[in-house]
Amino acid sequence: MLQRRLFVLACLLTLIALFYTEEDLRGKLAWNKCRRELEANGAQLNLKAFIPKPVPDEQNFAATPFVKSCFAKPNYAATERRWHDAYSRASDNIPQKAERDRHFIDLVAWETASDVARSSKANWYHNAIESHKLDLESRAKAAPAVLEMLKTNEAVFAELRAASHRPYSRYPIFYDLENPWGILLPHLSNARNVCKRLQLKACAELAAGQGKQALQDVELILYMADSFKGEPFLISYLVRIACLDLSVQPIWEGLAEHAWSDAQLQELQAHLQQYDFVSDLKLPLDSEQAGGVLTIDLLFKRKYNFGQLTGGNREEMWAADLLFRIIPHGWYHLEQLSYCRLFQTQLGRTFDPMNKRVWPSRVRNGVQVFEQAFSPRNSFNIIVHHRVMSGILLPALGKLPLRAAKAQTEADQAALACALERYRLTNGQFPESLEALAPRFISQLSHDVITGEPYKYHRTTDGQFVLYSVGWNEKEDGGVPGETLFDEKQGDWVWQYPAP
């Protein structure tokens, strides 16, 4: 009996050893084949390759006292305290809402909010102050008080403006490849806070007839946005888009009031025409994919445990942690393979960096396939097909081509609007068609990232114009917007001004 039991045990151990050997070999071969295919198509799967190179301080925009203070240890969050300023207190009383079209910033409301923030009535008006006095005269009267409120930030603005003449930007980020998901990026929220204050300042300066100062502030917003262009993070890309959006408001207000000179318009147009948010999306996406591959490797090497990645309690996740310790190494490779394939499933052929195009229908199809793969009824398949790590690590990538399309449309429309205003300054009216702008007022007409065709344009009876993209629904709606400015379900994406 003992001999038989030992024989059975030996057979069992042999089968287990053969199983592990076979699964290790199967996973390794499958992953190596997948990796070779990805790399042959230009994918970079080594996260270290995405780390920006060092820059000498004298050439580095990010080597300033303000930026360095953002990364000061031991408490990164402490840098947020600097924003408990007059702007922050006043903004608590300004309602934030999505608009169907653009409006002038309510400077009268900001003036009132600033007064209220200094009084004992601050809590009475929380998110409630609106004046609806958007005419130039009312805004011009309120502008000095708004500019006075922002003087507390002038030292930071001056420091960053002086540093913006440096040719490069490399923030002092610690690229910890032992913990890629724990890399801290405190400069992003601080940069956005600077840009929000510069936006309000530029709009107040335009209302006060200070076009030169307004241009400097808009250019600083654009420089701040571009200062983290080379960072390999999706959040950096999204914050850059948010900063561009902040810059467009004063550009639009100056155009609506005919406040920009031809020389100023040329400067703004040159900045705006440089943007290619569709191509720029490739860097953070490639980095994200490499980060996922590295994380699965780190999990195998016990640098992580499963509970840490899911955010679960370690005591509650002990069974999952144990399982990930005993599974064959080849299964980790199969998890990497599934991760990369699902990454491509979400984004495959949804955007074209070379031709600056985005296809909404393909985005929707990719999102649908991805959601079906992780539907609760497919839980068994998630395990069998080695998609466990994909479910944890893969972000919701489907919205990214949409964000790229919105940002590129906004930059294109702003540049075209500058060219249209330059045409009006020269000829006394807007042109009959966009073709009249090239080549004198714009070197080349940009195309709609949704259709690949020229943007839609027509003059209106009140001497203004409507400029628009067909939007995310890919339908021509005659220049009628949806419920919001860049609606995802209905309407066009429209650039227009209020009626005179």
pLDDT tens column, 122-139: 555 566 788 889 999 999
Do 219 and 87 belong to one domain?
yes
pLDDT score for 57: 93
Instruction: Give tens-digit pLDDT for 299-339.
Output: 888 877 766 666 656 655 666 667 777 888 888 899 999 99
Location of structure tokens 């259709």? 451
Q: Say if 269 falls within a structural domain.
A: no
Of 53 and 20, the one with more pLDDT: 53
Any idea which of 235-239, 277-281, 302-306, 468-472 has the lowest mean pLDDT?
302-306
Boundary residue ending a domain (400, 434, 468): 400
pLDDT score for 315: 59
Do 44 and 145 belong to one domain?
no
Do 310 and 230 belong to one domain?
no
pLDDT score for 307: 66
**Total domain count, the chain:** 2
Instruction: Give tens-digit pLDDT for 211-230.
Output: 999 999 999 999 999 999 99
The answer to whether the beta carbons of residues 406 and 380 sit under 8 Å apart is no
Q: Say if 122 falls within a structural domain.
A: yes
Instruction: Give tens-digit pLDDT for 246-295.
Output: 999 999 999 999 999 999 999 999 999 999 999 999 999 999 999 999 99
Question: What's the average model confidence in pLDDT over 424-433?
Answer: 96
Do 76 and 209 belong to one domain?
yes
Do 45 and 114 belong to one domain?
no
Do 308 and 209 belong to one domain?
no
The pTM of the full predicted model, rounded to 2 decimals, is 0.92
Do 77 and 153 belong to one domain?
yes
Q: Domain span at residue 337?
A: 2-49+283-400
Q: Give the C-alpha separation, 437 to 419, whole Å.
A: 7
Boundary residue ending a domain (227, 260, 293): 260
What share of the chain in percent tops pLDDT 90? Answer: 63
Question: What's the average model confidence in pLDDT over 195-213?
Answer: 97
pLDDT score for 180: 86
Q: Say if 468 falls within a structural domain.
A: no
Tokens in use for 403?
């964000």
What share of the chain in percent tops pLDDT 70? Answer: 93
Tokens in use for 355?
């031709």
